[in-house]
Structure 1
Amino acid sequence: MRVVLLLIRVLAIATITFSIGLCNGIPGWPPLCKESERQALLMFKQDLEDPANQLSSWVADEGSDCCRWTGVVCDHITGHIHELHLNSSDSDWGSDSFFGGKINPLFAHNNGFSTQIPSFFGSMTSLTHLNLGYSLFDGVIPHKLGNLSSLRYLNLSFNDLKVENLQWISGLSQLKHLDLSSINLRKASDWLQVTNMLPSLVELDMFDCELDQIPPLPTPNFTSLVVLDLSLNIFYSLMPRWVFSLKNLVSLHLSFCGFQGPIPSISQNITSLREIDLSNNSISLDPIPKWLFNQKFLELSLEVNQLTGQLPSSIQNMTGLTALNLGRNKFNSTIPEWLYSLNNLESLHLSRNALRGEVSSSIGNLKSLRHLDLSGNSISGPIPMSLGDLSSLVELDISGNQFNGTFIEVIGQLKMLTYLDISSNSFKGTVSEVSFSNLTKLKHFIAKGNSFTLKTSRDWLPPFQLENLQLDSWHLGPEWPMWLQTQTQLTYLSLSGTGISSTIPTWFWNLTSQLGYLNLSHNQLYGEIQNIVAAPGSTVDLGSNQFTGALPIVPTSLFWLDLSNSSFSGSVFHFFCDRPDEPKQLYVLHLGNNLLTGKVPDCWMSWQDLGFLNMVNNYLTGNVPVSIGYLQQLDSLHLRNNHLYGELPHSLQNCTMLSIVDLGGNGFVGSIPIWMGKSLPWLNVLNLRSNEFEGDIPFEICYLKSLQILDLARNKLSGTLPRCFHNLSAMANLSESFQSPLFGISVFDEPYTVPENEILVTKGVEVEYTKILKYVKSMDLSCNFMYGEIPEELTSLLILQSLNLSNNRFTGRIPSKIGNMERLESLDFSMNQLHGEIPPSMKNLTFLSHLNLSYNNLTGRIPESTQLQSLDQSSFVGNELCGAPLNKNCSANGVIPPPTVEQDGGGGYRLLEDGWFYVSLGVGFFTGFWIVLGSLLVNMPWSILLSQLLNRIVLKMYHVIVEYV
């Protein structure tokens, strides 16, 4: 008996060895593959780019067996190529196919194939598998692929391919898997007719194929279909009834298709469905078809369908639900009690609705729950203790609600938790290390935006190893949390505003080498930083602290660095110009509000990836160097309030991506460059306030159709206003909006907004705009020497919110159509020489809360409107106006009654005398000022400051003379 068993084993081993030899070839054995097919593959390889050398085994050496080449599988009897896989061999992720094993969906992204699919593939009639997914092929799909009658698996997905029709597929009668995802099938109106003729089809993937019609299908023939994915197409119709009559269908994906109306009712008793994704449509749940009540182990997603009102009570009949996603809709009720009876639920997502009320203690009934997401609602009250009974819970997200109280004790019972997000609620209280003793599996702890105080012993050893920790606004300080030293797997750390007042310990920088995100901003950290250590491509925010000393050395691979609002000092030369041969990958750099000195460095050729540069409110001097033109990716440039001077370099016009230019509060001279209007087409914000620019405003400024903020105030500009301002589309058209790519840059999975800000004079006061900057529309040309009439074309800027032309020499009348600018909230024409009446249309400015027309030559009655009569009298003084809110009554024809001698009292002469007195006083001060401080003018930065001050004094003197003399 033993001899027989031994013989069977020997025969089995021999058979396996022989089989392997036939499939893969054995050294010394004759080549197995067909020479014609081998030569065809070699010719094909010549047309490919393969920098990753993935096809290195495809060689022309004599005796090289193509059946042993990468991606090639041969029939072990005939020697014909049986399978051809050109997808990535090193991909570490994939999806299970229905034929067993692993199908890698990601082609080697660095292979760079860029050619058409060769027609000779159609001659390999023994092929059963052809996988060309993610291969960067382009052109038209060759119809000869229809000759592959043995084909069972065909994947052409995610290539730049297109077709006129799909008739060539109809001959692939044995096809079981067809993936044409992300191929342009817009012209293939026969797609359903053809695929319906494939009776063996098990999986059909047509994700993102630009299909625009899904016709009715009276008799579906592909009844073997198990997986159907038609997501991200443009049907915009009712959902087809035939889809839900496929009795073997297990997985159905119809998201992002524009489907409308209810889920169809059907007569068949279908029980096979396990996954239905109808998200991102406009589907109604009134009513829910009864066939859904019979589904077992069903995962249903109705996310983003504009569903409103209460959660439909008929959902409680779907007792087989294991996953329910109703997130991102508009439900505005409380969470119904019946929802807690769906005790088979393993995943429940109700995020980003308007749900309110409290969570019932009945939530403890959902014993199978593993994933719970209630984020982004208005749910309030404490967390019920019964939540601790959900012992299977792995992920819990209740962020962005109004929960209150202290519930860490409840969380401490959830031993399986790996992900916990309680951020942006109203929790408060003290948290001790005991609360975390059972959370040994926790990897992500996101709790920012609450008022907890963490109290632990100095030698506390947390039971978890976190990857993501966010405790912003907790009270952790004043000492540095020493327990962080144990968290060696962190990749994301945010401790902003946690009251830490200390230096950063040296050991901390040993942890940061793997951090992709570090935020320690808004604390009281102090001391010097020698080196910043961070992972390649990472974000480091150390802003709003009390650091001192020179700027630190930073890795060249950093993506985002914020060192603003501290006390860093010294020259910036070494920071920018050391290691000139190492290109910097930094995209966002914020050094504003420090004590930095020296000239703007002239080594920008090493910083060509910069998109955002902010060095406002420092003590930088000198000219802007020519090398700034190397920053051709620059989107936002902030150099406000330094001691810079000279003319703007012409090379700045090479930075054609600029959307924000803020150079205010310096000493720049010359005229406003014409190239600004020609070379910076994406400019949204132009702030040249408080400089020494002179000459006319170039009409090329009108080319800036995206301009939303224009601030040229406090310069020496002259000339008339351009009549082409109506071309500034972003100020004229409601449809135009701020399109700067820097707003909402995404870091990890959440948007981290670039710290954009602008200081503008609005309603007579300086206002700093940050988060709402992209919505501001403002024009300020005040305190210049401009003259002429205010052009009527200016009133075409219909959505301008703030307009300031004060302290100039404008003459003529206020434009009659000023009332068309109905979005105006602030309007200042004061200290000019305007005459005539206030246009009646001004009463249409219903948003106006600040108006200054003082010290002009306006006459007549103030138009009557609730808005104008509610303004302060100071808005109209220095004119010959009458009517409310002034105390001067108008005659019947709107003229001010002539004053009597007693009323005048010689005040006019007194006013003239006062005017000459102030003029004399100003001249005397001017002379003394030069005698005492003239010697300082040899110092260029002092000369800039003094010049700006003198300019303002002379301007004030001028207006006194104009008004009173």
Structure 2
Amino acid sequence: MTTLTTQMSLLLLLLLSIATFLKTMSTIDHTMVSCNEKDREILLTFKKGIIDPHGLISTWTTENNCCSWKGIHCDNLTGRVTRVELSSPPLNVEEEQLKNLKGEMNLSILKLEFLTHLDLSWNEFDMINVPSNHHNITHVSKLLYLDLSSIIHHSSLQMDNLDWLSPLSSLKYLSLSGIDLHKETNWLQAVEKIPSLLELQLRSCNLNNLMLNPSIEYLNLSSLITLDLSYNYFTSQLPNSFLNLTKDITYLDLQGNYIQGEIPSSLLNLRNLRYISLAYNQLRGSIPDEIGQLPRIQTLTLAVNMLSGFIPSTLGNLSSLYSLSIGFNNFSGEISKTTFSKLNSLDLLELTSLNVVFQFDFDWVPPFQLSQLYLSDSNQGPNIPSWIYTQKSLESLDLSSSGISSVDRNKFVSLIERINVTLDLSNNSMTQDLSDLTLKGLRIDLSHNNFTGGLPNISPRGVKQVDLSYNSFSGSIPHSWKNLKILHYINLWSNKLSGEVLTHLSQSTQLRVLNLGENKFSGTIPVNMSPDLEVIILRANQFEGNIPPELFNLSYLTHLDLAHNKLSGSMPKCVYNLTHMVTYNVKIWQYGIVLELFTKGHDYVYVVQPDRRTIDLSVNSFSGKVPVELFELVQVQTLNLSHNNFSGTISKMIGGMENMESLDFSNNKLCGEIPQSMAFLHFLGYLNLSYNNFNGKIPIGTQLQSFNASSYIGNPNLCGAPLNNCTTGEENPKNVTPTQRNEDEDCIRKSLYLGMGVGFAVGFWGICGSLFLLKKWRHAYYRFVDGVGDKIYVTLMVTLYVEDLAFLCKSRI
């Protein structure tokens, strides 16, 4: 027995050793395997056209073994390349901090014989090179996964056809999202040549045809289970034949197109469907009652269409439904608990902007626990519906514009303090003191209410957007706000807040939008503001001191409003590194920013767009000259320096600000002539140069003469159209008055006499001085004078003799 036990122990030990050895062998680092030379050459050919600004594939040239190159995976035994993964997704998609490849995408990489996985997504290639002999690529039948999708908002990739797909017979996943395929009219037939395809992603490809080629009687995509055709340009109805392509499809995304007509009945035949999105189209008619017969549907998205009629009660039968979004339609009737009777799995409910009646009993408790609820603009008020308080798992809540004016204090506090993603209660009439609350949402919007007391505390964990504008908050910024280090957006416009707020927010190093306008904040502008700032609004406060030069080194800044404060001193004379005010760079905004903007002589409620550039320093005590560097910001469209003490002249460089639409220099001490270059500001819609010391003639140009005299009044020495008091001799000498003419003649006469006097004195002392100092000149002068005297004497005597003789002769006669 002992011997048997020993043998068994030895056998188990041997098996364990063998297993350990095999595991070790199977996990050998791929860098120990030398790659195939042919594969290496193909990869280097692919690399030739790539621009790699971030050095992502720098190892491709510094090491010989391509199996150790970044993004390359080889078979551990053969050394053949099996996977190429060069995707460059950002760490946070919202940030778009991409480190991506550019240049040419050369599909000769498909010649890798054992390649099964190719991922080049999230890059910015601008050209695709499809080898002309792609039909001869026989080895790519092993390819299972192909993702060439581009960054949709940056893509300039175009592809004329999809014929190169035909050899990829084993492909199961294909994504070409973001590539322009508008020239490929038979894309469905091209895809059909891949019989094993399970997932097809063609999002934002400019496709415009959902109809089958009439010459093709039948198209088989029976293996397809996932299809994403969102955000294309399908303008027709959704044909039944299209939805009959495959019966086993589980995921269908057609949102963001222009699909018309009604929801086709063939949709109800897709019994395996789990996800369907038809949002953002132009669908009409009603939701079919039969939709409640889709047994496996989990996500139903029909929002933003033109659907009408009653919301079918059969929706309540979809027991597997996880997400329901039907907002922004024209439904009528009412919604009651019957609509939700069996929706035990519901997690997301979106009923935004529905003109329906919500009929829920006060004590109704839903069968679900939501994590997301969106009821904006849906007539919920005047009280928050009691069933919402029963939702203990809510992470996102949108009750904006819902007519709510009254809340249950204790339940309300408990509700909003547990929201940790999105809390939007804006545009209501709620009145509560929130000073003792701590909010922890990622996005917090309580704007346009009547909240009072001090500002609520905000948990630093993950908060990025805070909008508390248009309320009656008072007091100073809570100390807890000092820790909001990843805050991107803050809007406190139009409250009763005070104190030195900027010292509390100077640690928010990722801040992009800072709007503190219409309060009573004080202090100075700090030097260490977030380098990512794009919008700064400190308007109508009590800030004082100088503008720190560091403010003009914010390269992303596009909107600067410091108007109506107590700021003083001169503008910094430094290099203005406001890059986005010099070069045209449109940024993709992640949120709509509504700001108060004064432009073109009027106040506007203005949705900030990424292409707007504004500088407003009006109504302060700035002095000194306007720096030349300011006029180098050629992308600025609104510039307001009015009601200050600026002096000096306007630089002629202002003519280079060709995008200028609103220009206000009024009520300063500017002088000199208006630069002729201002006539080149062809987009100027508002101009105010009044109440300065400008002189001379207003430059002639269609734009400058189109404004009325109020744009130039208060400059006594300024003339020319549209002013009527032009009195310069150059323009109209007939209009000179007698008094002005006499003054001019006296000035000329005085100048003439003064010149004659000076000339006589210089000539007299020049001659006399020479006679006095030079002996030879003096003797010569005396001889000259004697000679002249003798000649005068002889001439005089002869003249007298002749006159006497003539008189005697006349007497005798």
**Fold shared per TM-score above 0.5:** yes
Equivalent residues of 1:717, 1:784 under 8 A apart: no
Q: Distance in 2 between matches of 1:713 and 1:273?
A: 69
What does 1:530-929 correspond to in 2, within 5 Å? 531=527, 533-534=529-530, 536-537=532-533, 539-551=535-547, 554=550, 556-557=553-554, 559=557, 561-569=560-568, 571-573=569-571, 576-577=572-573, 580=574, 583-584=577-578, 611-620=613-622, 624-642=626-644, 648-666=650-668, 675-677=677-679, 679-689=680-690, 692=694, 695=697, 698-701=700-703, 712=711, 714=713, 784=724
SS class of match (1:364): coil
TM-score computed with the length of structure 1 as normaliser = 0.62
SS class of match (1:365): coil
SS class of match (1:261): coil
What's the CA shift string for 1:784-814, capped at 9, x where partnerless?
4599xxxxxxxxxxxxxxxxxxxxxxxxxxx
The equivalent of 1:346 in structure 2 is 347
Taking a change above 3 Å as real, the CA distance of residues 5 and 408 of structure 1, as seen in their structure-2 partners, is farther
Equivalent residues of 1:87, 1:106 under 8 A apart: no
What does 1:945-964 correspond to in 2, within 5 Å? none
1:520 aligns with 2:516: yes
Kindly state the Cα deviation for residue 396 of structure 1 after the two structures are TM-superposed: 0.7
The equivalent of 2:746 in structure 1 is none
Equivalent residues of 1:299, 1:323 under 8 A apart: yes
Q: Distance in 2 between matches of 1:483 and 1:4?
A: 65
Equivalent residues of 1:614, 1:637 under 8 A apart: yes
The equivalent of 1:396 in structure 2 is 397
1:150 to 130, 134, 142: 142
Q: Distance in 1 between matches of 2:510 and 2:148?
A: 37
What's the CA shift string for 1:249-274, capped at 9, x where partnerless?
12111112210011211297433222
What does 1:115-264 correspond to in 2, within 5 Å? 115-117=104-106, 119=108, 121-133=109-121, 134-146=123-135, 147=137, 148-158=140-150, 160-216=156-212, 219-245=218-244, 246-264=246-264
The residue type paired with residue 521 of structure 1 is G
The equivalent of 1:3 in structure 2 is 10
1:73 aligns with 2:73: yes
Equivalent residues of 2:489, 2:513 under 8 A apart: yes
Equivalent residues of 2:453, 2:475 under 8 A apart: no
The equivalent of 1:18 in structure 2 is 25
The equivalent of 1:777 in structure 2 is none
The equivalent of 1:738 in structure 2 is none
Q: Distance in 2 between matches of 1:71 and 1:503?
A: 50
Taking a change above 3 Å as real, the CA distance of residues 530 and 668 of structure 1, as seen in their structure-2 partners, is closer
Taking a change above 3 Å as real, the CA distance of residues 233 and 462 of structure 1, as seen in their structure-2 partners, is closer
Q: Distance in 1 between matches of 2:42 and 2:258?
A: 44
Q: Distance in 1 between matches of 2:478 and 2:654?
A: 46
Taking a change above 3 Å as real, the CA distance of residues 709 and 283 of structure 1, as seen in their structure-2 partners, is farther
1:425 aligns with 2:428: yes
What's the CA shift string for 1:876-899, capped at 9, x where partnerless?
xxxxxxxxxxxxxxxxxxxxxxxx
2:55 to 53, 56, 61: 53
Q: Distance in 2 between matches of 1:648 and 1:550?
A: 22
Equivalent residues of 2:381, 2:405 under 8 A apart: yes
Q: Distance in 2 between matches of 1:325 and 1:517?
A: 31
The answer for unaligned runs of 5 or more in structure 2 is: 1-7, 583-594, 600-610, 728-738, 740-813
SS class of match (2:381): strand
Kindly state the Cα deviation for residue 657 of structure 1 after the two structures are TM-superposed: 2.5
What's the CA shift string for 1:261-300, capped at 9, x where partnerless?
1121129743322211211110124252625532334212
Q: Using the TM superposition, name which of 301-310 and 630-639 deviates more.
A: 301-310
What does 1:462-501 correspond to in 2, within 5 Å? 465=461, 467=463, 468-478=465-475, 481-482=478-479, 484=481, 490-501=487-498
Taking a change above 3 Å as real, the CA distance of residues 254 and 143 of structure 1, as seen in their structure-2 partners, is farther
What's the CA shift string for 1:761-785, capped at 9, x where partnerless?
xxxxxxxxxxxxxxxxxxxx5x645
Equivalent residues of 1:360, 1:384 under 8 A apart: no
Taking a change above 3 Å as real, the CA distance of residues 591 and 585 of structure 1, as seen in their structure-2 partners, is farther
SS class of match (1:235): coil
Equivalent residues of 1:367, 1:389 under 8 A apart: no
Q: Using the TM superposition, name which of 2-11 and 515-524 deviates more.
A: 515-524
Q: Distance in 1 between matches of 2:300 and 2:224?
A: 19
Identical aligned residues as a percent: 28
What's the CA shift string for 1:640-687, capped at 9, x where partnerless?
34455666432112222222222334566777655444x434433333
The residue type paired with residue 198 of structure 1 is I
Q: Distance in 2 between matches of 1:563 and 1:113?
A: 40
Report the RMSD for the aligned CA atoms in angstroms. 4.2
Kindly state the Cα deviation for residue 613 of structure 1 after the two structures are TM-superposed: 1.9
Equivalent residues of 2:484, 2:508 under 8 A apart: no
What's the CA shift string for 1:20-71, capped at 9, x where partnerless?
44x7142xxxx5322122133234434433232222322366xx32222222
The answer for unaligned runs of 5 or more in structure 1 is: 95-104, 594-608, 721-780, 788-922, 924-965
The residue type paired with residue 236 of structure 2 is S
Equivalent residues of 1:308, 1:329 under 8 A apart: yes
SS class of match (2:103): coil
Taking a change above 3 Å as real, the CA distance of residues 320 and 785 of structure 1, as seen in their structure-2 partners, is farther
Q: Distance in 1 between matches of 2:112 and 2:95?
A: 24
The equivalent of 1:751 in structure 2 is none
SS class of match (1:154): strand
Equivalent residues of 1:306, 1:330 under 8 A apart: yes
Q: Distance in 1 between matches of 2:492 and 2:83?
A: 53
Taking a change above 3 Å as real, the CA distance of residues 107 and 220 of structure 1, as seen in their structure-2 partners, is farther
Taking a change above 3 Å as real, the CA distance of residues 784 and 251 of structure 1, as seen in their structure-2 partners, is farther
SS class of match (1:271): coil
Kindly state the Cα deviation for residue 427 of structure 1 after the two structures are TM-superposed: 0.9
